[in-house]
Amino acid sequence: MKSNFRVLLVNCNTMMDTLITAGISILAACLKREGIDVRLFDTTFYKTADKTGDEARAYTLQVKKTNFKELGIVPKETDVIEDFKKEVETFKPDLIGLSCIEVTYKLGIEMLQAVRHTGIPTLVGGVYATFSPHIVAKEDCVDMVCVGEGELALTELCRKMRSGVDIANVQNIWVKKDGLLHKNELRRSMDMRDLPFQDWSVYEKKRFWKPMGGKISVTGTFEINRGCPYSCSFCVNSGLNKLYRNNGGYYREQDIPRLIDEMLEKKEEYNLQFVYLVAESFLTTSKKRIAEFIRLYPQVGLPFWIEARPESVTEEYVDILESVRCEGISIGIESGDENIRKSVLGRDITNETTIKAFKLFENSKIRVSANNIIGFPTETRENIFQTIELNRRINTKGVMVSFFSPYRGSSLREVCELEGYLKEEDIAKDYRLAPTLDMPQLSRSELAGLQRTFPMYVKFPKNEWPLIRICEGQGPEADRIYEEMSRIYTERFL
């Protein structure tokens, strides 16, 4: 038995995306509950991209500009790889656990390669590893891959490593040993009530400052449920629901009283100003559960942000959410073409249902955003303008537009591979920064032009559309007109 077992968790995050990651926080808490020494290396504040997601969204008129510099928060000037090597040398962990998403996978592997000479065992987890374990396991710097949830798997792995017993048969973990790859079976999904409260002590204090609604607040992230009851084809939840279909199901809900207790603890300890509730569709649950949340949440009393599907919104819910300080809600439109929504995306929601949902917020103080996605396989320019037209009918203040990114785990990823838009090993791009797909009917440059002008098409009168069309292009003239129209848009609508 090793008396002092150390784990270095690595959060390979996109640059300056400061929303606290509940997954890492829970993993740290689970390990500490076992008496394991945990440290976190976080890439958030390193210069790992040309621009941040928030900067991209501000440039394309989706959100108000915010400035971290006003809080003294700027990207670190040191090199992320060199600092990681120093952290490993100083901490001397017994295990390095890398958590990454698809867009940060390459950086994560580069980091592990940089410390391979130490011989420290490495484990890679996260949604990309879950759906690409065969790809991840090929990396020389990777010893183990976590498929699915990591809380119980990582805890069992560390317990066995600390005791010096065989680790080849830990459920959820693929293990390289003696020239073989042991592909262990998936364990059942765990009961969320068995999870410890998140451990936020592993994060730097500045990590809690998060832009939301045009201001930067100390924000806490809380899992009110895990997964999604729906399986939209563009979302990795379609893959998670399939993966866990015979293993207890992936979608689960946290007990409301337990959730409130955790919020109260964190509010007091971290002086929280804002709450982000992790729920793919907050209102898709029982009325009893919503009523319990509404009854208990005033104890917390902080403004919060949620996401919802159009068909789940009712007049009653709008009123009671406003009464407990719901400040913002994002509602998914995705596509304005009903046929694409139903046959391609797996969302059988009519335009009229969507319009009705947004209309219910007209007299509310809750800030409402419409979430749109462009660049689906088979989608045309005409289809995108159907989405624009639906947004014009809705006429909500917040207009968000993302690129469709075929992340591994989503069922649409398979369609894209079959169509030859990308290969199995290709990495999808950040949905905020650039399109992944280059399609015959819609090139990357066309999609980029449509994304940056999308809010303009929604908000400006149609007699301005010829000028907006020029802004879709590239070059000095297009940029000059875009800057001028952006100034006008910002003054009128943001």
CATH of the domain at 267: 3.80.30.20
Has this prediction a pTM greater than 0.85? yes
Residues 230 and 286 in one domain: yes
Domain end among 119, 150, 183:
183
Enclosing domain of residue 150: 6-50+76-183
**What's the average model confidence in pLDDT over 440-464?**
97
Residues 373 and 229 in one domain: yes
The DSSP secondary-structure symbol of 283 reads T
- Give the CA dihedral 162, 168, 174, 175, nearest 10 degrees: 80
Residue 56 has pLDDT above 80, yes or no: yes
Residue 1 has pLDDT above 80, yes or no: no
Using a pLDDT cut of 70, give the percent of the chain over it: 100
- Rounded-to-integer distance, Cα 338 and Cα 390, Å: 10
Domain count, the chain: 3
**DSSP letter string over 386-422?**
HHHHHHHHH--SEEEEEE----BTBHHHHHHHHTTSS
- Predicted local confidence at residue 112, as pLDDT: 98
| In-domain check, residue 205 | no
- Predicted local confidence at residue 226, as pLDDT: 97
Average pLDDT, the chain: 97
Residues 326 and 403 in one domain: yes
| In-domain check, residue 283 | yes
Residues 17 and 161 in one domain: yes
- Rounded-to-integer distance, Cα 429 and Cα 407, Å: 8
Residues 243 and 391 in one domain: yes
Region of 59 on the Ramachandran plot (φ > 0 left; ψ -120 to 50 alpha; else beta): alpha
Residues 431 and 473 in one domain: no
What confidence category does residue 455 fall into, taking pLDDT thresholds of 50, 70 and 90? very high
pLDDT per position as a tens digit, 179-197: 999 999 999 999 999 999 9
**What's the average model confidence in pLDDT over 429-442?**
96
Residues 150 and 277 in one domain: no
364-368, long-range: CB within 8 Å, 24+ apart, which pairs? Answer: 364/318, 364/319, 364/322, 365/322, 366/318, 366/321, 366/322, 366/326, 366/327, 366/328, 366/329, 367/213, 367/327, 367/328, 367/329, 367/397, 367/398, 368/328, 368/329, 368/330, 368/331, 368/396, 368/397, 368/398
| In-domain check, residue 238 | yes
Residue 2 has pLDDT above 80, yes or no: no
Q: What is the CATH number of the domain that holds 174?
A: 3.40.50.280
Residues 127 and 239 in one domain: no
**What's the average model confidence in pLDDT over 259-268?**
98
What confidence category does residue 202 fall into, taking pLDDT thresholds of 50, 70 and 90? very high
- Rounded-to-integer distance, Cα 254 and Cα 184, Å: 28
Residue 450 has pLDDT above 90, yes or no: yes
What confidence category does residue 365 fall into, taking pLDDT thresholds of 50, 70 and 90? very high
pLDDT per position as a tens digit, 302-348: 999 999 999 999 999 999 999 999 999 999 999 999 999 999 999 99
**What's the average model confidence in pLDDT over 220-227?**
97
What confidence category does residue 214 fall into, taking pLDDT thresholds of 50, 70 and 90? confident
- Rounded-to-integer distance, Cα 422 and Cα 102, Å: 14
What confidence category does residue 106 fall into, taking pLDDT thresholds of 50, 70 and 90? very high
**What's the average model confidence in pLDDT over 170-176?**
98
Contact of 175 with 146, CB cutoff 8 Å: no
pLDDT per position as a tens digit, 232-241: 999 999 999 9
Residues 98 and 140 in one domain: yes
Reported residue count of the chain is: 494
Domain end among 183, 215, 232:
183
- Rounded-to-integer distance, Cα 264 and Cα 272, Å: 10
| In-domain check, residue 214 | no
- Rounded-to-integer distance, Cα 101 and Cα 179, Å: 27
Secondary structure (3-state) at 100:
strand
Residues 338 and 466 in one domain: no
| In-domain check, residue 61 | no
| In-domain check, residue 248 | yes
Beta bridge partners of 132: none
The DSSP secondary-structure symbol of 202 reads T
pLDDT per position as a tens digit, 12-25: 999 999 999 999 99
Residue 267 has pLDDT above 90, yes or no: yes
Residues 429 and 486 in one domain: no
- Predicted local confidence at residue 399, as pLDDT: 98
Residues 432 and 291 in one domain: yes
Residue 3 has pLDDT above 90, yes or no: no
| In-domain check, residue 57 | no
| In-domain check, residue 190 | no
**What's the average model confidence in pLDDT over 431-455?**
97
